[in-house]
Amino acid sequence: MIYLGADHGGFQLKEALEHYLEGKNIEVEDLGVHSDTPSDYPDNAKLVAEKVVANPGSFGVLLCRNGQGICIAANKVKGIRAAVAWSPEIAASARQHDDANILCIAADFTDEQTAKAMVHAFVATKFENIERRVRRIEKLKRLEN
């Protein structure tokens, strides 16, 4: 399952990603926004982050104008490891090295083709479950407490 969320700045690209994922028969839940009416990114970041935490093995994709604010907000939720990516390689690395569970995209700086490739790379990449990576994830978890 992939949970999608955006503020008004990421709305159009979120809609395109939703259609792309549905076309690939990937289960998607769009948690909003549902228009380009001005909105605040922390609201949708929280919705997506809480769904990802409640559903282990799921992923989130969040979009705002620069990808940063929505990523900061998502990372406030315990259990979330959200990462901003600007290429498929960075998206894959965030999964492989850091076990990221939410991909954040800068809608103002990312074209649709690149966004689709990043989402594909993110969900297709597995966490590299080796000692040093697991150790680092455990240290991140301790920072949450």
Active-site positions read 64, 97
Q: Give the chain's end-to-end CA distance (angstroms, integer).
A: 27
**DSSP of 89-132:** HHHHHHHHHH---EEEEEGGG--HHHHHHHHHHHHHPPP---HH
Amino acid occupying residue 30: D
C-beta separation of 17 from 71 below 8 A: no
Q: Which of 96, 100, 103, 88 is nearest to 125 (CA)?
A: 96
